[in-house]
Structure 1
Amino acid sequence: MLCRMARTTPKAVALGAELRAARDRSGLTLRELAKRLGVDHSALSRAESGDRPPAPEMVAAILAKLGVTGGEFDRIVGMSGDSDDSVWVAVSIPDLQSQLSALLSFEQLATTITDVSPLLIPGLLQTGGYTRAIMRAGNVPRQEVELRVATRLGRRDVLVRPDAARFTAFIGVAALRGGIGGRAVMAEQLEYLLKAAEWPNISLHAIPESAGWHPALEGGFMVLDTEAMSVVHVENRRSGLFYQDDADIAAYQEAVAQVRGVALDRGETIRVIAREVGEIEEAS
């Protein structure tokens, strides 16, 4: 059996992305691979999109046809064993890399994205200098920094393409006042936020320090809505987490509503950012 009768999940999307990447590296088209496997190409397409996750034995057959062996073979087959789980916790580097692939896929598919980021500028709005400063301070290996910066900047495409997602960001004032990278880097970053705030699909809201308790103080998170499903993504220094169950989505949607209730409106937020830019310029 090629695919199980299971609903789309974040891990199923990541598994599909892994299979698609392996096929691309092999140089085979979808139809060519389907012919070699003796399956319908449309079913294989649904497997690669994450709509219908393949059973482990089919994943093994696909990888064998694509010439994938060793640890990579074991890792991808292992992903298929619980690809229909609605909660996906990643702690190992391979799992975190798979989660990043899934996150990129969901960002591409999303119609709306809500990012609650109390301490840092949201990833989809970061400039190269700001991202680079974070990675260098976080001891990312020197040889990996520029690749990671390029990956993050590439993610911004979802906000500027013709069918761009509707993006709402709730940013803590502490993030706007942070000295990450020094004055020049922060000035460039804040000016980029002012530019992004002019785009019709982007809504920025600063969370004032006087707001008291609100759910963003528990940590940042993203809610991504696609036509097929909604997911929540949470990450920290050592792990990543995807939620999909209705109860979990509802809890985070309620958290967004609470944060929205204490956040500044778009006009006030722009004034706050512009004031921070002015203060940096005065101090320079």
Structure 2
Amino acid sequence: MAATPKARALGLAVRKIRQERGLTLRELGERIGRHAGEISRWENGERPFTPERVAQILGALDVNGTRFQEIVSLSYETKNPPWVATALPERDQQLAALIDFEASATRITEVAPLLVPGLLQETGYVRAIMGAGGVPASEVAARVALRLGRREVLTRPDPVSLRAYLGEAVLHQVIGDAPITAAQLRHLCDVATRPNVEIRVVPFRSGWQPALEGAFTLLESEVSTPIVQLENRRSTLFLHEHDDIRAYQRAVDDLRTAALGAAESRELITRRIRSLERT
């Protein structure tokens, strides 16, 4: 059975603590009386943890208090899709899982009708969003660094392949001010020169197309089941069941038809940059 996003996130949380403690799989196995291979399958989400097993491992790793409770809470209903997170601790766990999914993905498809997606955001644009969105000033620097750090999956030696379908409204929505928005659009043009990145604009004239239903991210990998992430102001959702994934893959197929080509998209973005610079 394919690992669910929640099971993978639970394994990631356990693996992170084990590595923080400087323990190998074998050393942890000796502490709890289990084989290293079994622990590896737990950490990869291939074999479900029980809450009792998670508690045993966390005890062996000297984890207690709030962190203990948050991780144990992840172990419930790991087999039951979809994974919806509304409370802040679980949303943080989903973010950690998303970063791991991005790092292990072979291809990422971003569909963004209104805003530039996170992997393509430029520093000023990120700061403007967070400032207007009410992020406490004391947290902005750390959150900006985290978001920009995620872009490394595009520039590492074995980069992920990224396809982004941006609604034409993304080019016209001024974030921060005109210079910040122009800088963001220039960043899009720069990133699009990379061989692993394709940016295509879905024009206003395209009529109805699936991006009008909302933004989503499709993460595909050669070693695990595809995942779709959906996000709104107060919650995030991961989908991984076959019928759900196929529905979003078909949406991407429709957008491929509706969108401008890469070169025409770049020309449209460049014209918008000139317009902002005149402003």
Normalising by structure 1, we get a TM-score of 0.94
Percent identity of the aligned residues? 47
Match of 2:88 among 86, 93, 113: 93
Match of 1:128 among 119, 123, 139: 123
Aligned residue number for residue 218 of structure 2: 223
Structure 1 residue 253, shift from structure 2 partner: 0.9
Aligned residue number for residue 159 of structure 2: 164
Return the letter of the residue paired with 1:114: T
2:150 is paired with a residue whose SS is helix
Aligned residue number for residue 273 of structure 2: 277
Structure 1 residue 59, shift from structure 2 partner: 0.5
Structure 2 stretches lacking a partner, 5+ long: none
CA distance in 1, matches of 2:225, 2:22: 31
Aligned residue number for residue 119 of structure 1: 114
Structure 1 residue 70, shift from structure 2 partner: 2.4
User: Does the CA contact (< 8 Å) of 1:112 and 1:226 recur in 2?
Assistant: yes
Higher mean C-alpha deviation, range 116-125 or range 250-259: 250-259
CA distance in 1, matches of 2:70, 2:151: 29
Higher mean C-alpha deviation, range 208-217 or range 17-26: 17-26
Aligned residue number for residue 54 of structure 2: 59
Q: Deviations over 1:131-180 (max 9, x none)?
A: 11101100011111111111111111111112111110000111112210
1:54 is paired with a residue whose SS is coil
- The count of corresponding residues between Structure 1 and Structure 2 is 278
1:162 is paired with a residue whose SS is coil
Aligned residue number for residue 239 of structure 2: 243
CA-atom RMSD in angstroms: 1.3
CA distance in 2, matches of 1:210, 1:282: 25
User: Does the CA contact (< 8 Å) of 1:117 and 1:171 recur in 2?
Assistant: yes
User: Does the CA contact (< 8 Å) of 1:221 and 1:233 recur in 2?
Assistant: yes
Aligned residue number for residue 80 of structure 1: 75
CA distance in 2, matches of 1:265, 1:174: 17
Q: Deviations over 1:68-125 (max 9, x none)?
A: 1223222211211211223101111011111111111110111111000000001100
Aligned residue number for residue 20 of structure 2: 25
Structure 1 residue 282, shift from structure 2 partner: 1.8
Structure 1 stretches lacking a partner, 5+ long: 1-5
Q: Is 1:139–2:144 an aligned residue pair?
A: no
Aligned residue number for residue 193 of structure 1: 188
Aligned residue number for residue 263 of structure 1: 259
CA distance in 2, matches of 1:52, 1:278: 54
User: Does the CA contact (< 8 Å) of 2:2 and 2:225 recur in 1?
Assistant: no
CA distance in 1, matches of 2:74, 2:100: 17
Structure 1 residue 243, shift from structure 2 partner: 0.6
User: Does the CA contact (< 8 Å) of 1:15 and 1:53 recur in 2?
Assistant: no
User: Does the CA contact (< 8 Å) of 1:196 and 1:202 recur in 2?
Assistant: yes
Higher mean C-alpha deviation, range 65-74 or range 237-246: 65-74
CA distance in 2, matches of 1:79, 1:188: 40
Higher mean C-alpha deviation, range 213-222 or range 253-262: 253-262
Normalising by structure 2, we get a TM-score of 0.96
1:180 is paired with a residue whose SS is coil
Aligned residue number for residue 232 of structure 1: 228
Structure 1 residue 51, shift from structure 2 partner: 2.4
Q: Deviations over 1:212-261 (max 9, x none)?
A: 11111111001110112111100010000011111000111111112222
Q: Deviations over 1:169-193 (max 9, x none)?
A: 0001111122101122112111111
Return the letter of the residue paired with 2:230: V
